[in-house]
Amino acid sequence: MVTLKQLAEQLNVSVSTVSKALHDSEEISPDTIERVKALAKFLNYKPNKLAVSLKNSKTNTIGVIIPNILNHFFAKALFAIEQEATKQGYNIITCLSNELQSKEEDSLQLLSNGSVDGFIMSIAEETQIISKTDHISNILKQDVPIVLFDRVSDNLETDKVIIDDFDAAYQATNHLISEGRQHIVLISNIDELSVGKLRTSGYLEALKESVNHTQDPVIVTIKREGSIEEHIDQLFKTHQTIDGIIAIDNTSGVVALQKALKHNYSIPDDMSIIGFSDENVLQFTDPKLSTISQHTLDIGKASVELLINRLNDKSSTDLVTKTIKAKLQLRGTTK
């Protein structure tokens, strides 16, 4: 690696002159600036980021902690975070917690030592289940800002970016009710998560409020990843009067549609299905799945904006929670 010192030696000037020249300092003669820059370019000089960061106590790097990169929602969020961060001159260091509290803690510890200016994260499933967030508040205590997105915790005093999970499920349910559906089932493999609980509440509330709708709520909870298909198959066997499905996670909507067609339901005549899936699954379904669109790109972008705002004004004490409205996208699986 070429250093300032080497440039200085070759040009017979001092290190500080070189440094200033490269920063277009007014103190330096145009001529010197010219010469310095020419040589720097020629030798492909790049300032050592470590040294600059150490000096400035500023890394221009954001730590991003993702619970599960194989979940398309998070992959897309990461995509958006990276894009916006790059645009704003920040790098990202990505850690994957794989839904484990221990890995989440490790990553926070490991990077909160000057490696990053702040964090953007979504809470690991395990952390949400055992509801222990000390490892996160410890970091906050050390004045390293954190933005939480999607999966958040009321116990943590941070900026947050969420979607209106309750409302989204509430509206989806109401839509099915307005279609005249009488037996609307909710399918979830995320009932341990904050977002899962909120979406379920929205569903329950919509059913409760609906006057001329007397069904009891039916909630299918799926624990293990692999068993979604079995559960849904089972559902169609045991509940033959089902005419509406709200799937509140990424994939079960698609699976439900698949199975419904297999069971010879005519969609959407016999049954309506609404999923929380991203558009990427649409190519796999026919008819096209109606979904609640989460505007994942906006979520990622907003997270970066919030964090950078916070970094630029650490003094500000009021926390902001930004809600990105989800939108019901009716396609081929609803009337």
- Does the footprint of a second copy cover residue 115 (CB under 8 A)? yes
Q: For residues 284 and 255, what is the distance between their CA atoms, to the nearest angstrom?
A: 10
Kindly state the tokens that stand for 82.
Answer: 């990276």
- Does the footprint of DNA cover residue 1 (CB under 7 A)? yes
Please check whether residue 4 is in contact with residue 18, taking contact to mean a CB–CB distance below 8 angstroms: yes
230-237: which pairs have CB atoms within 8 A and are 24 or more residues apart? 231/187, 232/187, 232/256, 232/259, 233/259, 235/185, 235/187, 236/260, 236/263
- Does the footprint of a second copy cover residue 217 (CB under 8 A)? no
- Does the footprint of DNA cover residue 4 (CB under 7 A)? yes
- Does the footprint of DNA cover residue 30 (CB under 7 A)? yes
Binding a second copy by CB under 8 A: which of 266, 283, 315, 317?
Answer: 283
User: Which residues are CB-neighbours of 12 under 8 A, at least 6 positions away?
Assistant: none
Pick from 112, 105, 109: which is nearest to 133 by CA? Answer: 105
Pick the stretch among 52-60, 62-70, 244-252, 326-334 that binds DNA (CB under 7 A). Answer: 52-60
Q: For residues 83 and 106, what is the distance between their CA atoms, to the nearest angstrom?
A: 25
- Dihedral of CA atoms 330, 161, 74, 231 in degrees, nearest 10, equals -60
Question: How many residues of this chain bind DNA (CB under 7 A)?
Answer: 32
31 binds, among DNA, a second copy, none (CB under 5 to 8 A by kind): DNA
| Min separation Cβ 203 and a second copy, Å | 23
Contacts to a second copy by CB under 8 A: 1, 44, 46-51, 53-54, 59, 61, 69-70, 72, 75-76, 78-79, 82-83, 86, 91-96, 98, 103, 109-115, 138, 142, 228-229, 251, 254-255, 258-259, 262, 280-281, 283-286
Judged by the rule CB under 7 A, the positions of this chain that interact with DNA are 1, 3-5, 12-17, 19-20, 22-23, 25-32, 45, 47-48, 51-52, 54-57, 114
